[in-house]
Amino acid sequence: MRQRDRNRANAHRLRVDGHSIRQIAKQLQVPRSTIAAWIRDEGEWHEYRNCQLCGSAFRVNGGNHRFCTRQHAEKYARMYLAGRKPKQERYRERIRELEAEVYVLRAALEIRDAA
Ligand SMILES: [Zn+2]
């Protein structure tokens, strides 16, 4: 790998880790304008997260994505969610959770209305 390619790859990695353009330029000894051009297509303002399955960083497109790819989301679901408990029991659990939530919200409403 040529030095330039290595620098570029490192710039992306540092960016994903949350470093600023200035910090990356200093660390790699590359002009800031070059760093900026390299990472421009990644979008400076984009949020990165780590895949909950494989740990690799990915760019969040909005929403509460937790996986780098759909395949990993499905794999995670198969590994950790499916087969954990029978579906019916999970639904019953969810119903209890929602009922508790409704109870709390009702109580909050009553308190508000009484005020
Ligand atoms: Zn992944």
pLDDT digits (tens, 9 = 90+) for 25-54: 999 999 999 988 888 766 555 677 888 889
pLDDT digits (tens, 9 = 90+) for 44-91: 556 778 888 898 888 776 667 888 888 998 888 888 776 666 778 888
Q: Could you count the other beta carbons within 10 Å of the beta carbon of residue 49? A: 15
Q: How far is the CA of 64 from the centre of ligand 1 (A)?
A: 15
- Of residues 44 and 99, more confidently modeled: 99
Q: How far is the CA of 15 from the centre of ligand 1 (A)?
A: 18
Find the angle CA(19)-CA(3)-CA(9) to the nearest 5 degrees. Answer: 35
Residue range 5-10: average pLDDT?
88
pLDDT at 77: 85
The dihedral region occupied by 48, where left means phi > 0, alpha psi between -120 and 50, and beta the remainder, is beta
Say what the pTM is.
0.38
Q: How far is the CA of 32 from the centre of ligand 1 (A)?
A: 31
Q: How far is the CA of 95 from the centre of ligand 1 (A)?
A: 30
pLDDT digits (tens, 9 = 90+) for 11-21: 888 887 878 88
pLDDT at 43: 54
pLDDT at 30: 94
pLDDT at 82: 64
Q: How far is the CA of 16 from the centre of ligand 1 (A)?
A: 15
CA pair distance 33, 10, nearest whole angstrom? 16
pLDDT at 38: 84
Q: How far is the CA of 35 from the centre of ligand 1 (A)?
A: 26
Q: How far is the CA of 67 from the centre of ligand 1 (A)?
A: 5
Q: How far is the CA of 8 from the centre of ligand 1 (A)?
A: 22
